[in-house]
């Protein structure tokens, strides 16, 4: 299984989601899976908001793209094609203000591309990324994962389902403000059980 690792925390050494992504990566590698790519979203020059030319290019048929639009959309094409090529994903998802970080939301917008990760049909959109697996480690300070104010896990489940990915495992490292050690231990046990 070829795995794409995605880190979405702006923090480096102090990041719980990055620490647990390391643990999960080692677990999956010990099972013979390969990490074939990594994206560190806050530090990746391709993950940017872009401008109106990029967004107009998303809705312009390829044969009608201007040279500027072609240039503006290259980074999104690279990210979307890389994402579509993976068999599975490890995603570290710190919760900020009850939802995903700005970098992760930007990345999602860049990889959710008609013709690459989904298609529009007369019956509605259809996800193209079938038979793939997502492991999402959600770290939170004070919000329980699965609670009524957790907007991360329902959003990601909906988003991945839209892209055709229905096999999603959430690993909670929640309530770290109460006990960082206990949260990490709980998540590590969940990873060990995979």
- In 3-state terms the chain splits into helix, strand, coil percentages (rounded to 5) of 40, 25, 35
Residue 55 has pLDDT above 90, yes or no: no
CATH of the domain at 137: 3.40.50.360
Question: Which tens digits make up the pLDDT trace of 109-146?
Answer: 999 999 999 999 999 999 999 999 999 999 999 999 99
Binned at pLDDT 50, 70 and 90, residue 62 comes out as confident
- Number of domains making up the chain: 1
Q: Which residues are annotated as a binding site for FMN?
A: 9, 15-17, 95-98, 139-142
Contacts of 21 (CB under 8 A, 6+ apart): 5, 7, 90, 91, 92, 137
Q: Which residues are annotated as a binding site?
A: 9, 15-17, 95-98, 139-142
pTM of the model: 0.94
Question: Which tens digits make up the pLDDT trace of 143-158?
Answer: 999 999 999 999 999 9
State which residues form the domain around 38: 2-192
Contacts of 56 (CB under 8 A, 6+ apart): 69
CA distance 49 to 103: 9
């Amino acid at each position: 299984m070829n795995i794409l690792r995605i880190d979405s925390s702006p923090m480096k050494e102090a990041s719980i989601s990055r620490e647990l992504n390391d643990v999960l990566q080692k677990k999956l590698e010990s099972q013979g899976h390969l990490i074939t790519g990594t994206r560190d979203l806050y530090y990746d020059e391709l993950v940017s908001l872009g401008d109106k030319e990029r967004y107009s290019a998303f809705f312009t048929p390829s044969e009608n793209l201007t040279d500027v639009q072609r240039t503006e959309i290259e980074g999104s094409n690279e990210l979307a094609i890389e994402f579509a090529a993976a068999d599975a994903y490890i995603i570290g998802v710190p919760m900020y203000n009850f939802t995903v970080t700005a970098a992760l939301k930007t990345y999602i917008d860049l990889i959710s591309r008609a013709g690459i990760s989904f298609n529009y049909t007369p019956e509605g959109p259809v996800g193209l990324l079938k038979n793939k697996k997502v492991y999402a480690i959600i770290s939170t300070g004070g919000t329980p994962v699965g609670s009524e104010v957790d907007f991360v896990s329902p959003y990601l489940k909906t988003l991945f389902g839209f892209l055709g990915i229905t096999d999603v495992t959430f690993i909670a490292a929640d309530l770290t403000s109460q006990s960082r050690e206990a949260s990490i231990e709980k998540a590590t046990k969940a990873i060990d059980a995979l």
